[in-house]
């Protein structure tokens, strides 16, 4: 069964029943092309959304094809495992942009040419474009000429691109931003349906381009991947940031805020991710006198990702340009409080005083104050914040997101995700005793399951070791037999 994405709390809801089971909501399997400027192994919000969307759709029985840039010299059509599911990925020859960690340049005419070849062979029902910058710009014409339905999701704010990824003089920035928004409007006018991750992002896009009917659909999350049996603890107090270590994330404000906290708290900071600011952040931590308490982990594996969230007391998101923030959603699914900038779409996830706190963007003193509230909270307060995070994340269920996109692909409906319901924005305070008891039951079950999995893993390791030893013995016997045979043949000669 899939989790009820509504916000009503009742005795019938069991958080332990969160599952990734897929239920196809359309009448037949579709052939779906997802066209991306950024895709795994890139690690960023747009890439992770495309990855999980593709994996979820493939598990529902659809034939999913990815068109993305090659991340090395190898290009062509491959079968790759994406989000745990094998599918077809068409990697186009590309060249790394020197001023950006993940964006790559593709020759425009080669995109259109390769897309036409792919479309002629697979005959897609729909093309879902994840960016209008490069890939989408040159695929849209090919798809329209072939009469293929077009859906586009906007993950980009031109301000971010111009300020942090394109080298232009500061006095030209405003003119460039105005042009970029107009350009986006011209592109999105060509597609059949436009989506963004949140209502705030949709309103921004509509206001900047003059468009209407932009659908707000959460990127969604499989909360079961991040469930754990560990309530948040401030022993030791630990703050986590997970994402790109680039300027627009304003991680420097996090380090400055932590430096303002009482030294006796001994707050540790975990920074997970890579980016162009790492060297600067290391130097800043040294200058602030907190370098020994700031830990740079780089990228972590999918297996270790939930552990990073489980280890922290509070998740921090100081960015001022998030159109949703998948990392914040993952922290909420882990039952962690969040302290975030009161900017863009973050207030949609962080309900001030309910599952964390908001602070005015770039106000380091306020940031430090909100962190201190969480890091010095007693156990009951930490549990309240944690439970409210788990409660709110229910409305971002990935299965609901997949069902909505299936209907959009078919052109049969124009729904939005459950986080757009009025009750989602209502204050929570403290959850009912029923839900509180269910959370405790859920955590006990998860802890027991983790123990059983650890036992099973140990047994599996022992079996694999035994198998390896037997295989080595067989290999030695075979090698010895071959040597003896060679000697015998040589003697007979």
User: What is the spatial distance between Cα 239 and Cα 311, in angstroms, rounded to a whole number?
Assistant: 9
Residue 213 lies in a domain: no
Domain hosting 147: range is 27-190
Instruction: Tally Cβ neighbours within 10 Å of residue 12.
Output: 10
pLDDT at 104: 73
> pLDDT tens, position by position, for the chain (493 residues)?
333 333 333 333 333 333 334 556 667 899 999 999 989 988 888 999 999 999 999 999 999 999 999 988 899 999 999 999 999 999 999 887 766 666 677 877 799 999 999 999 999 999 999 999 889 999 999 999 999 999 999 998 766 665 655 567 777 777 878 888 888 999 999 999 999 999 999 998 999 888 889 999 999 999 889 988 888 999 999 999 999 898 889 999 999 999 999 999 999 999 999 988 999 999 999 999 999 999 999 999 888 999 999 999 999 999 998 989 999 999 999 999 999 999 999 999 999 999 999 999 999 999 999 999 999 999 999 999 999 999 999 999 999 999 999 999 999 888 899 999 888 888 887 766 666 666 666 566 655 665 665 666 566 556 656 655 665 565 566 556 656 666 666 666 5
Q: Which helix (H) or strand (E) holds 255?
A: helix 251-259
Task: Name residue, tokens 């270790």.
Answer: 304
The reported pLDDT for the residue numbered 175 is 81
C-alpha 18/C-alpha 20 separation (Å) is 7
Q: Are strands 31-35 and 126-129 parallel, antiparallel or unpaired?
A: parallel
Q: Give residue for tokens 């409660």.
A: 391
Gap between the Cα atoms of 413 and 25, Å rounded: 12
Burial class of residue 221 (count of CB atoms within 10 Å of its CB; 0-12, 13-18, 19+): buried
Residue-level pLDDT at 108: 78
Last residue of a domain, one of 361, 396, 431: 396
- My answer on whether 282 and 155 are in the same domain is no
Residues 169, 284 within the same domain: no
CA 65/CA 50 separation, integer angstroms: 11
Are 72 and 183 members of one domain? yes
Number of domains in the chain: 3
Q: Phi and psi (nearest 5°) for 96?
A: -70, 135
**Burial of 226 from C-beta contacts in 10 A (0-12 / 13-18 / 19+):** buried
* Residue 9: predicted pLDDT: 34
d(CA 323, CA 199): 9
Q: Do residues 344 and 458 share a domain?
A: no
Task: Identify the CA nearest to 336 among candidates 236, 230, 232.
Answer: 232
Measured CA distances, 472 to 318, 393, 424, 480 (Å): 53, 49, 59, 12
**Is 16 part of a structural domain of the chain?**
no
Answer yes or no: is 12 within a domain: no
Structure tokens at 172: 């030209």
Provide φ and ψ at 430, rounded to 5°. Answer: -120, 135
Phi-psi region of 231 (alpha: psi -120 to 50; beta: other; left: phi over 0): beta
CA distances to 332, 462, 466, 485 from 479, in Å = 55, 26, 20, 10
Tokens of 371: 């962190």
Alpha-carbon torsion 424, 426, 429, 432, what sign? negative
Same domain (yes/no): 452, 363: no
- Both 344 and 482 in one domain: the answer is no
Query: What integer pLDDT is reported at residue 3 of this predicted model?
Result: 30
- Of the three residues 190, 210, 242, the one that is the final residue of a domain is 190
Q: Are 231 and 110 in a shared domain?
A: no
d(CA 194, CA 358): 29
């Amino acid at each position: 069964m899939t989790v009820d994405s509504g916000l009503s709390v009742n005795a019938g809801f069991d958080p332990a029943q969160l599952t990734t089971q897929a239920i196809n909501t359309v009448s037949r399997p579709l052939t779906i092309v997802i066209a991306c400027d950024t895709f795994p192994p890139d690690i960023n919000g747009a890439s992770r959304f495309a990855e999980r969307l593709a994996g979820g759709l493939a598990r529902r029985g659809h034939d999913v094809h990815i068109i993305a840039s090659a991340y090395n010299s190898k290009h062509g059509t491959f079968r790759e495992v994406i989000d745990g599911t094998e599918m077809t990925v068409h990697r186009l020859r590309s060249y790394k942009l020197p001023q950006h960690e993940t964006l790559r340049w593709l020759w425009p005419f080669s995109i259109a040419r390769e897309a036409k070849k792919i479309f002629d062979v697979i005959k897609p029902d729909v093309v879902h474009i994840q960016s209008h910058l490069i890939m989408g710009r040159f695929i849209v014409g090919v798809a329209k000429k072939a009469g293929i339905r077009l859906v586009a999701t906007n993950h980009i704010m031109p301000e971010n691109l111009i300020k942090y990824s394109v080298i232009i003089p500061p006095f030209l920035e405003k003119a460039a931003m105005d042009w970029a928004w107009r350009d986006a409007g011209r592109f999105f006018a060509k597609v059949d349906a436009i989506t963004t991750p949140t209502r705030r992002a949709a309103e921004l896009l509509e206001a900047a381009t003059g468009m209407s009917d932009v659908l707000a659909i959460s990127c969604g999350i499989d909360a079961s991947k991040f469930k754990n049996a560990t309530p948040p603890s401030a022993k030791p107090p630990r703050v986590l940031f997970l994402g790109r270590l680039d300027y627009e994330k304003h991680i420097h404000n996090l380090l400055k805020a932590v430096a303002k906290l009482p030294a006796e708290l001994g707050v540790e900071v975990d920074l997970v991710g890579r980016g162009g600011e790492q060297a600067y952040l290391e130097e800043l931590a040294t200058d602030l006198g907190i370098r020994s308490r700031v830990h740079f982990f780089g990228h972590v594996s999918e297996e270790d990702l939930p552990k990073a969230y489980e280890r922290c007391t509070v998740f921090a998101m100081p960015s001022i340009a998030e159109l949703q923030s998948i990392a914040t959603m993952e922290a909420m699914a882990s039952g962690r409080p969040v302290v975030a900038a009161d900017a863009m779409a973050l207030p949609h996830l962080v309900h001030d005083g309910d599952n964390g706190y908001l602070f005015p963007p770039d106000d380091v003193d306020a940031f430090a104050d909100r962190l201190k509230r969480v890091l010095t909270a007693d156990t009951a307060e930490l549990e309240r914040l944690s439970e409210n995070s788990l409660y709110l994340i229910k409305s971002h269920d990935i299965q609901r997101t997949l069902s909505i996109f299936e209907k959009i692909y078919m052109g049969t409906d124009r729904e939005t995700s459950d986080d757009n319901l009025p009750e989602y924005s209502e204050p929570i305070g403290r959850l009912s005793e029923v839900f509180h008891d269910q959370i405790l039951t859920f955590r006990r079950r998860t802890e027991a399951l983790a123990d059983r999995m650890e036992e099973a893993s140990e047994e599996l390791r022992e079996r694999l070791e035994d198998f390896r030893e037997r295989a080595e013995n067989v290999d030695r016997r075979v090698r010895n037999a071959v040597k003896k045979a060679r000697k015998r043949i040589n003697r007979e000669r």
